[in-house]
Every structure is written in C-alpha cells, then in structure tokens.
Structure 1
Amino acid sequence: MKKTTPKSRSVTVSDVAREAKVSKATAARALGGYGTVSEKAHEDVMAAAKALDYRPNELARSMTTGKSGIIGVVVGDIENPFFSLAVRGISDAARAAGFNVILANSGEQIEAEKAAVRLLIGKRVDGLIVTPSESRDVTHLRDIHRSGRPLALLDRALPDLDVDTVTVDDRDVAIRATRILVNAGHRHIAYVTAVDAEGHELRDLSQIYTSSVRERIEGFLAVCHDAGITDPKRHVRLGATSPEETRRIATGLLSTPDRPTAILASDSLIGLELFKVIQALGLSVPGDISLITFHDADWTSVTSPPITVVDQPVYALGKSVAELLIRRLKGETRPPERLILPTSIIERGSVGPPPEEVTGGSRTKPSSD
C-alpha cells in the first residue's frame, strides 16, 4: 500500500520530489518557476504537488529565488473609502500581473508608517507602494529606494524623493471647488481636514506636512484672497481625525455668531459627519450651509439634497501606481514618472446662495428683490 504524507505536518519540497520520483532540486525548480525543467518532470511535480496538497513556503521560496511575488502597500486610513477603493485598484493590477499584496495602515502617523515599512521589508516584499503621511521625515522611504526595492508613491508627491508617483492636481481642484462657493455668493467659507496641528487652527502653511493637504489649502486660500475675503484662515479647521473629533469641530464651527455659510470637506468621512451635525443643529443644506466634499462616496448621492463632490479617479490612482511599480519589478529601467490624473466636480443640490449677506461687518438678510 502506498504511503501518504501525514497531514499533521506541512508538505515539503522533498515530499513532492519523492512522490514525483525526481530530485529535490528538480522539484524546487518546477515549483518555483525558475531554471530548466523538462516538460514531463514539470507535469509529474505539479501532479504530485496537487495530490499532496502542497502549499509553498513563500519565505523559503523568496530566499531561493530572491523574489517573493508580494507587493507591500502602506496607506493612511483603511477605513476611509478613498483608500479602500485605491487599494482595490492596486490589488486588481497586482493580481493580473501575478503578484499578491500585503496591506498595512499608518493611521497617518509617521512612526506607524516607519514600523509598517520595516515589517513589509521583513516580509521580503519585492516593492512598496506608500501614501506618505508627511514630507519632512522621509528617511525610511529613501532607505527603501537605496535598498534596490522599487518604491512608488500613491496620492501624495514628495518633491525631494525622485520615484514613481501618481496623484491628482489637488491645488487645481481645490481652486475649482472653492470658486463654485465664491461664485454662489459665499464669503464665509470653511475648510475642514483630518491633518492635525496644535489647536486645530491654521496659523501658517508650514504647519502642514502632507503635500496633498497643503496643496488643497493653498488652492482654497488663493481663491478666497482673490475674492477679497478677509483672513480666510480663520475658518480652516484641522484635526478632524475621527467621527467624534469631526463632530466636535463642526459643532464649534457652526455654533459661533460668525459661522460659515459654506464648507469644503477634505474627504467623504468628514463630509458625512458635517452633514449630520448640520442637521442636528436644525440647519439645512443648502439653505443655511452649502457643502462640498472630496470623494464621490456612495452616501453623497442619496442624501436630501445630494452632495456636490470632487470626483477623484481613485480606482485609477491605485491601478496606475501598481502598474508603474510592476513595470519596475519586471526589470524596466526608465526615469521616474509622475502621473497626474484628471479630476471632475459633480454638481448636485448642496450648493446655494448664502442665507445672509455681510454688510458693514454685520449680517443682514438679503433683500427679496
């Protein structure tokens, strides 16, 4: 009676080789997809592997071939629908090219990002895709680049790091979104973002270390200054890092006598909490507060009214950055690329004229003319 390998231990390459009646080296080459193996030996090895339910040891294979077939990905917040959809694009492109993906979450914290990078390198990933949480501390990213592992950046560029990068034009789209509010007559406009700083208030753009956030605020402030809005920084709020914090910030912002008549939210999670607070305070969109949010999340089209959004090509961002990295992994050498994907604004029903006009420093109801 033919002996079978006990199920109490993992099936090894030696077990497969014995079953296929080939040498261990031949079995390893067939299973690892490297070197030269005859067609018959390859068929025998694969049949034996299937019969024994062989599961490859990825670490051992990576030590033999120098390749793990794995791409490491570090994003800012996996709960954010933006990153979820981007990772879907990365995963689809990776799978189509024969790679697997390991995902890590930084929580937009630089130390957590560094730890995630160390972990992924320890897993012997072939290359990394990172959404950098800030631009002032990139030593760990330089180390990846120097190690010979390809690195690509998702959504946020680093001017001092010359690697493949895929972004949108954050400054330009923030300008377009803010102009919609200004053209509707708004002069008290707020911008709310998750990036934190002491006091949650913007004193200077040097506080902002995340490139995409800084570019959006730059665009927002530029339009406000062009419209003659006095001190637009006073309505910029930082630190909307959780639903609870966002609600606290929104409640404070909307409970002041000088409350904004329009808000631009930096992502759909913040936009949703703002919408809830507006309703909880007995205010209406757009009657009392006009609202625009980045990212066309599912909820934005089913509220009453539906929300005007900055529609970013999120899936394409993920797919494109993965494709750039995979080209590197397959040996292509070329200068680093920066792809800037186009965005659009979907105008719905959440923007209207301000409920009041500012005249001589005080608020008055607009005339009915």
Structure 2
Amino acid sequence: MKRTAPKTRSITVSDVARAANVSKATAARVLGGYGVVSDTIRADVMAAAKTLDYRPNELARSMTTGRSGIIGVVVGDIENPFFSLAVRGISDAARAAGFNVILANSGERIEMEKAAVRLLIGKRVDGLIVTPSESRDISHLRDIHRSGRPLALLDRALPDLDVDTVTVDDRCIAMQATRILADAGHRNIAYVTAVDAEGHEYRDLGQIYTSSVRERIDGFLTVCRDAGIDRPERYVRLGATSPDQTRRVADKLLSGPDRPTAILASDSLIALEIFRVIRQRGLRVPEDISLITFHDADWTSVTTPPITVVDQPVYALGKSVAELLIRRLKGETRPPERLILPTAIIERGSVGPPSNRKP
C-alpha cells in the first residue's frame, strides 16, 4: 500500500501567540504592523515567529486590515534601461517604507495597460504608479482615482487627471539638445522615436498621444523653425519600436539623397541601433552624422566617440514618485503635486559641424 507523505501544516498567528505567551489579537497586531504594544512583547512575538518560521498569509492579512502592503507599477517597456532604472528607484523607496512591488509591462499599448491595471487591482494593491501610454484614453486611470485608491504618474503628465506626477521638462530639454545641433551648423536634423501613428508617417502633433513624446517633438520643431530650417517635420521618424524596426527606419533615413547630418534619438535603445547602422554604412560619428540621445545609458560613454546625452534623473524619478504615493498611503491629505525634476545635457564627442561629403 502506497503511503502518502504527511502534509506540512502552515504556522498560524495562533501558534505564534501560544509560543510567545500572548493573546492572538496581540500577536496579530505585532505581525501585522498595526496597533500599539510594548517593545518587550513585540520582541517576544517576533522571536517566536522567527523560531517557528512563521510566514504571513498576505491575502488573509489584506482582508483583515484592508491593506496588502503592495504597490502596483505599470511601465511602458521593462527592457528599456530607462524604465529598469526608474523601477529600481520605486522598489528601493517602497522597500524602505515596508511595501512590496508588483511590476507589469504595457508594451506602450493602451489595451495591455488597461489589462495590467485590472490585474493589479485584482491583486488588492494599495496604490498604483503608472506610466500612461497615451493621453486620449484614460478612463481606467480615472476609475482608479475615483475609487479612492492612490494613483501617481511616472514620467508622463496628464493635464486632465489631477494626481501626483513626477516628470522632467521634456519640451525644454529637447529644445536644448536640438539647439546644440543647430548651433553646430546642422540644418538637416532628424528626430527618431518609438511612438507610432497610423500610416507610420508624422504629419502633426495631433497624431502623438504620448505626452512626453509630444512635448519633445514640439520642442525639437520649435528650435528648428527658429533656426530657419525649412519643413523640419519631414525629418521626424516614428515607429522605431524594436531593434529590427529601428534599423529599418535608420537605413531608410540614411540612404536618401538628402539624408540628415544630425540625429536626435528619443531613447538609448534607438540610439544604439542608429549608431550600428551608421557604422555599417561606413559613416562616422560625428564627421558624417552627429548624434544625441535621451538617457545616459552605460554604452553611451564607452563608444568611440562617446555619445552626447540628455541625462535624465531616472532613478530619482522612480524614487520620488514612490515617495509621493507612499505619503498618500500613510494618510496624508494634500493637493496633488506635480514635480518636475532638473535635467542636464552631458556633451561628449558625438556632435560636430555638418560634413561637406556627398552621400
């Protein structure tokens, strides 16, 4: 006759209470982190929990206290170093305050973002941090806000949603980066972004529903027009959504008779693929093509030449937005804050005057 192994019984709050010689209610207060007990009793209960290897039932605790101790986070692309570093800032701030983090990826698609929000709410998260993929459809975010569950926005502001938000001044910093290229003498300047639109071709800002990208393109075009550049929008390229697609965009951009002499990339993943295509086509940075990218990724400082970058305070963005949310979770009531963190440009060796060499 086959024997079945005895089931291992989970250690309960009652077990810890008996071992510590306190009531179950007292043990629950200590283990749940709420209520008031003496330091001696707290030490006794925690020692008993450690000896018994007590592991809290998070679902049961959330049903009892109304809190899960979890923050839900939805970002656009977890493979992008920008979001990876921002999430590290969120996680560090959450851990320091006694919260855990559940991370979800929207792929910059609104339906995936909505599904991620529904999933996290189903997990009974206490609050959410979201990087909204677009500004035209925010009904799911309004629902979170109306429910009373705290919501904070990372990197992208929504003027129509009055919640805590942490961003940089994307328009201003895009203007600064573009002005560096224009001041170097460039008149054929391209802007390449992962955001796409119907038809895959840029026509006007009304196509762009991601707030930070819209502000960057606006800043880019403003400086180009101020510099007397004719029809600068013809060099705005959309749809660099993957390494393969970015290489196709870059190949097409650099193969034309009026190829740009300078490129501003919207993130370091795009810039890396553009840099590769430039090299593969036998061109040089900055002699043939000048290059600037948003985000000071590790690779940008070790290439030859090193790449001029928009140095965004990415870790601080994540840490700051988490701290704002945690203050809400701890009961602070105050008007929503919109923090704009300072951003700098690190000038390296990837910008020079336009080349006179024919394509």
Structure-2 residue corresponding to 1:262: 262
For 1:122 and 1:166, how far apart are their aligned partners in 2?
Answer: 26
Cα distance in structure 1, aligned partners of 2:56 and 2:8:
16
Question: 1:169-191 CA distances to partner (integer Å, 9 max, x unpaired)?
Answer: 00000001001111111111100
CA distance in 2, matches of 1:40, 1:295: 50
Matching residue of 1:333 = 333
Deviation at 1:282, TM superposition (A): 0.7
SS in 2 for 1:95: helix
How far 1:41 sits from its partner (Å)?
4.5
Residue 122 of structure 1 corresponds to: 122
Kindly provide the amino acid, as one letter, of the partner of residue 80 in structure 1: N
Asked whether the equivalents of residues 201 and 234 of structure 1 are also in contact (C-alpha less than 8 Å), the reply is no
> 1:199 and 1:254 mapped to 2: Cα distance?
20
Q: Which residue of 2 aligns with 1:212?
A: 212
1:86 aligns with 2:99: no
CA distance in 2: counterparts of 1:331 and 1:190, whole angstroms: 47
Partner Cα distance (1:41, 1:344) in 2: 51
Secondary structure, aligned partner of 2:178: helix
Q: Residues of 2 paired with 1:39 and 1:267: CA distance?
A: 51
> 2:286 is matched by which residue type in structure 1?
P
Instruction: Name 2:192's counterpart in structure 1.
Output: 192
What CA distance in whole angstroms lies between the structure 2 residues aligned with 1:339 and 1:61?
A: 34
Q: Does 1:165 align with 2:168?
A: no
Match of 2:346 in 1: 346
Letter in 2 for 1:204: D
How far 1:36 sits from its partner (Å)?
4.5
Q: Which residue of 2 aligns with 1:111?
A: 111
User: Unaligned stretches of 5+ in structure 2?
Assistant: 1-5
Please name the residue that 1:139 is paired with: 139
CA deviation after TM superposition for structure 1 residue 356, in Å: 2.8
CA deviation after TM superposition for structure 1 residue 7, in Å? 7.0
Q: Tell me the TM-score normalised to structure 1 length.
A: 0.92
Larger displacement relative to structure 2 (93-102 or 154-163): 93-102
Give me the whole-angstrom Cα distance separating, in 2, the residues matched to 1:46 and 1:155: 40
Residue 292 of structure 1 pairs with residue 292 of structure 2: yes
Partner of 2:51: 51
Equivalent AA in structure 2 for residue 149 of structure 1: R
Partner amino acid for 1:317? L
SS in 2 for 1:352: coil
CA distance in 2, matches of 1:164, 1:42: 35
Deviations 1:70-95 (Å, cap 9, x if unpaired)? 11111111111111111111111111
Letter in structure 2 aligned against 1:244: D
Instruction: Measure, in 2, the Cα distance between the counterparts of 1:238 and 1:267.
Output: 13
Distance 1:114 1:29 in 2: 36
The alignment-based identity, stated in percent, is 85
Read off the aligned partner of 2:223 and give its amino acid letter: V
In the alignment, is residue 281 of structure 1 matched against residue 278 of structure 2? no
Q: 1:367 — aligned with what?
A: none
Cα distance in 2 for partners of 1:86, 1:40 equals 39
Query: Residues 356 and 161 of structure 1: is their aligned pair in 2 closer, same or farther, counting only changes over 3 Å?
Result: same
Partner of 1:237: 237
Give the counterpart letter for 2:72 in structure 1: G
Instruction: Note the residue ranges of structure 1 that are not aligned, 5 or more in a row.
Output: 1-5, 358-362, 365-369
Measured after TM superposition, the shift of residue 23 of structure 1 is 3.7
Q: Which amino acid aligns with 1:142?
A: R
Change in CA separation of 1:254 and 1:37 when aligned onto 2, cut-off 3 Å: same
SS in 1 for 2:340: strand
Is contact 1:32–1:61 with CA below 8 Å preserved after alignment? Answer: yes
Checking the alignment, whether the CA contact within 8 Å between 1:167 and 1:339 is kept in structure 2 is yes
Using a 3 Å threshold, how does the CA distance of structure 1 residues 189 and 46 change in structure 2: closer, same or farther? same
Distance 2:44 2:354 in 1: 75
The residue number in structure 2 matching 1:178 is: 178
C-alpha distance in structure 1 between counterparts of 2:324 and 2:34, whole Å: 24
Q: Which amino acid aligns with 1:300?
A: T
Take 1:198 and 1:44, find their aligned partners in 2: how far apart are those partners? Answer: 64
- Superposed CA RMSD: 1.6
Letter in 2 for 1:185: G
Aligned to 1:19: 19
Distance in 2 (CA, whole Å) between partners of 1:39 and 1:320 is 32
Q: How does 1:27-106 map to 2 (within 5 A)?
A: 27-37=27-37, 41-106=41-106
- How far apart in 2 are the matches of 1:345 and 1:55? 48
The corresponding residue for 2:318 is: 318
| Distance in 2 separating the partners of 1:179 and 1:74 | 33
Aligned pairs, how many? 354
| Counterparts in 2 of 1:40 and 1:167: CA distance versus 1, 3 Å | closer
Asked if the contact 1:296/1:311 (under 8 Å) is kept, the reply is yes
Instruction: Tell me, in whole angstroms, the C-alpha distance in 2 between the residues paired with 1:50 and 1:127.
Output: 29
d(CA) in 2 for partners of 1:35 and 1:319? Answer: 28
CA distance in 1, matches of 2:115, 2:157: 21
Any idea what SS the aligned residue of 1:257 has?
Answer: coil
